[in-house]
Amino acid sequence: MPHPSMHPAVLARQMLEMALMLQYFPPPESSKFSEDPRIINRRLADEAIKLVTTNEELHGTMDALECIMLEAMYHSNHGNLRRAWLATRRSIMVAQMMGIDRWRTPHLLVIDTSRSLQPHYIWHNLIYTDRFLSLILGLPSSGATPIPEFERQLPKKQSGTSWLTLELKHSQVAHRLLQRRNGMEDYNVTQEIDTMLLDAARSVPDEFWSLPKFDEPDTNNSAFWRSIRATNQVKHYSLVNCLHLPYLLREDPNRRYEYSKIACLMASREIIRRYNSFRNAKPVLSCCRPMDFVALIAALSLMIGHLNMHQNRAPYGFLQHQRPGDRALVEQLAETMDRVANLNEDAMTYQSSCLIRRLMHIEADAFQGHCYLTEKLHNAVDGGAEDRCNKDECHVLHIFIPYYGTIKISRQSPSTDVTTRKDLANSPSQCSENVADSRTGCVKNTGQKAFVAPYLVSTGNIDFSLHPDVDINAIDSLQPATIPYPDLTASVDDWAFQGVDTAFFGNLIGPNAYSVAENGTGSWEQTAFSSKGTEGYLPPNASHFGMTNS
């Protein structure tokens, strides 16, 4: 029992630690408690957050800083990545106020002197967490910089520190990716970052990259280190995916982007393999929750990559022999997410598995020769009907993404001439559409009529005179009255994907993809499809075997 004279920050730390421990109990085991452990951990965390971590009068000690970091971990374990991002930002500001961001730190006030804290490692951890969350959420980073002396003093390739060296390199890569996102596109930058990732992979022993086996007995904290290794592996491959994702859909007659496509899809496979291995052994969601979001990104990348290959009709595409294995891998991922969702009563993993299966259905149909297109719509689709994950006989899927727009994936008409497209655009189809709502639902049947959109697989222009239903004056901005946005800090219950979907499609298609010419013609100049001003990149000794001219 805590002593009455215990400092509030120390007591809050114990409350948050207890809340984190209770997160590890799956719902089926809640009968062992007199009260549902989820209610207990929420009550403990809410009180600690309300009275200490958000109380500026108690900031200024290492104990209070640790409490704010535990709050970020608590939110992350619940899948509330946006709240975790906010708590991490508060941690950075408090750490800067205390001078932890300097090599020669001033005297630090520590209340509980029985604990050993390493200020420089704490600062590294804060920067790394901030950059990674900012990257997958599509949010800006804090701009805080690491301590060069701390990075230089790390031993090279020694047991117990090689993973920390890898984390430091990953943090540098994440920083460069955030800079690339905010700057002008330059494929030379992509080459430089790719070289950094290759160097990061070589900074740890080769055996580090083997697939962790979580069914082995736990000896000398081996299970903990396997989890650390799996987490770092997934983060590495997610950085590779994020780096090359903008080039996944681009086409070039000289095959400039084949290396990026191969790297992006390779990284996606490695993420899914580790996720399946990890979650089958550790189905309780309180552990490494961002991995669930990264796995969804990997599955979307893999399925969209295959869809794009089918669109190109390449007889010897580099994915031909990999398709059966990729589909089996993604199906296993969906099954794993189903088990996790059922065990934890979790909406995010359930909705992820629904979306993945819808894309698998579309990919299988495209493999049979049907042409599919993907486009970004700015006009909202009403999603007020009941959620369900049924097959759509008309092969039309809308994915509503808050603060971004609607992604439409639909089967293209066999005839692509302008006259046919005009007739189809002005006359409704006889089938209903499915809407995948990334906030609260999986697939919704709107009961509305589907329209066949213009062909937009590689790049192109839309003549909006053919689409009188589209308001070109309002299409460049999403107004709150048009789409019912969730709150920016909404929990995973109200915003399942937390903006990870927004960042993914923004990286894939481009955040500013629409422009209107003087003649009123709208144009989708999607950065994910454009090939202007960029050069393809293949490392020395890379082989073009199995690749086709696009």
Tens-place pLDDT, residues 517-526: 343 333 333 3
Of residues 534 and 398, more confidence is placed in 398
Cα torsion 479, 484, 487, 493: sign = negative
**Residue that wins the pLDDT comparison between 208 and 530:** 208
Beta-carbon contacts of residue 121 (< 8 Å; ≥ 6 apart): 150, 164
Tell me whether strands 396-401 and 432-437 are parallel, antiparallel or unpaired: parallel
User: Highest mean pLDDT: which of 215-224, 292-301, 373-382, 468-477?
Assistant: 292-301
Q: Which of 490, 506, 382 is nearest to 439 (CA)?
A: 490
Provide the β-strand partners of residue 436.
399, 443
Please classify residue 378 by burial: count the beta carbons closer than 10 Å to its beta carbon, then call 0-12 exposed, 13-18 middle and 19+ buried.
buried
Give the Cα separation of 196 and 199 in Å (integer): 5
DSSP letter, residue 433: E
Report pLDDT for 400: 67
| Residue 235 in tokens | 């983060």
The domain locations on the chain are: 8-152, 211-524
pLDDT (mean) for 365-375 = 79
Q: Which residue has the tokens 């909705």?
A: 351
> What pLDDT, on a 0 to 100 scale, did the predictor assign at position 439?
37
**What is the DSSP annotation of 372-393?**
EEEEEE-S-----S-B-----T
Q: Please enumerate in sequence order all residues whose Cβ is within 8 A of that of 122, keeping only pairs 6 or more positions apart, or say none.
A: 65, 69, 95, 100
Residue whose pair of structure tokens reads 């022999």 in the numeric block = 321
pLDDT at 431: 32
Lowest mean pLDDT among 3-12, 222-231, 314-323, 371-380: 371-380
- Three-state DSSP at 442 gives coil
- Count Cβ atoms below 10 Å from residue 362 Cβ, excluding itself: 25
Size (the chain), residues:
550
Is the per-residue pLDDT at 79 higher than 60? yes
pLDDT at 314 over 50: yes
Q: What is the mean pLDDT of residues 318-343?
A: 90
DSSP H or E stretch at residue 18 = helix 8-22
Best CA proximity match to 406, nearest among 464, 357, 451: 451
State yes or no: pLDDT of 532 exceeds 50.
no
Q: What is the pLDDT of residue 90?
A: 96
Q: How confident is the model over 288-292, as a mean pLDDT?
A: 83
User: Quick one: pLDDT at residue 503?
Assistant: 75
Helices 81-98 and 119-137 meet at what angle, rounded to 10? 150
Is the model's pLDDT at 195 over the cut of 60?
A: yes
The mean per-residue pLDDT over the stretch 38-49 comes to 92
Q: Quote the percentage of the chain above a pLDDT of 90.
A: 32
Over its C-alpha atoms, the chain yields an Rg (Å, rounded) of: 24
Q: How far apart are CA 319 and CA 366, in angstroms?
A: 14
Contact 281, 225 (CB under 8 A): no
Q: In terms of DSSP H, where are the helices of 282-322?
A: 290-312
Assigned token pair, 476: 């460049």
The encoded tokens of residue 336 equal: 């794993």
**What pLDDT does residue 152 have?**
74
- Considering 200-204, 375-379, 384-388, 490-494, the range whose residues carry the highest mean pLDDT is 200-204
* Model pLDDT, residue 465: 44
More confident residue, 507 or 109: 109
pLDDT tens-digit series, residues 412-470: 766 543 333 344 334 333 333 333 444 333 333 333 322 222 222 322 333 334 334 43
Among candidate residues 121, 119, 45, the one with its CA nearest the CA of residue 77:
45
Q: What's the pLDDT at 498?
A: 64
pLDDT band, residue 330 (cuts 50/70/90) = very high
Is residue 311's pLDDT more than 90? no
Quick one: pLDDT at residue 318? Answer: 77
Residue 65 has pLDDT above 60, yes or no: yes
In the chain, % of residues over pLDDT 70: 67
Among 21-35, 56-70, 231-245, where is mean pLDDT lowest? 21-35
269 has pLDDT over 90: yes
Average pLDDT over residues 273-278: 92
Q: Is the pLDDT higher at 455 or at 282?
A: 282
pTM for the predicted model, two decimal places:
0.76
26 has a pLDDT exceeding 80: no
Residues 6+ apart with CB under 8 A from 345: 27
Average pLDDT, the chain: 73
Q: What is the pLDDT of residues 488-523, one digit of tens each?
A: 666 666 666 766 766 777 777 764 443 333 433 333
* Interacting residues of 5 by C-beta distance below 8 A, sequence separation 6+: none
pLDDT at residue 372 greater than cutoff 70: yes
Q: What is the pLDDT of residue 253?
A: 76
Sign of the alpha-carbon torsion through 109, 115, 118, 123: negative
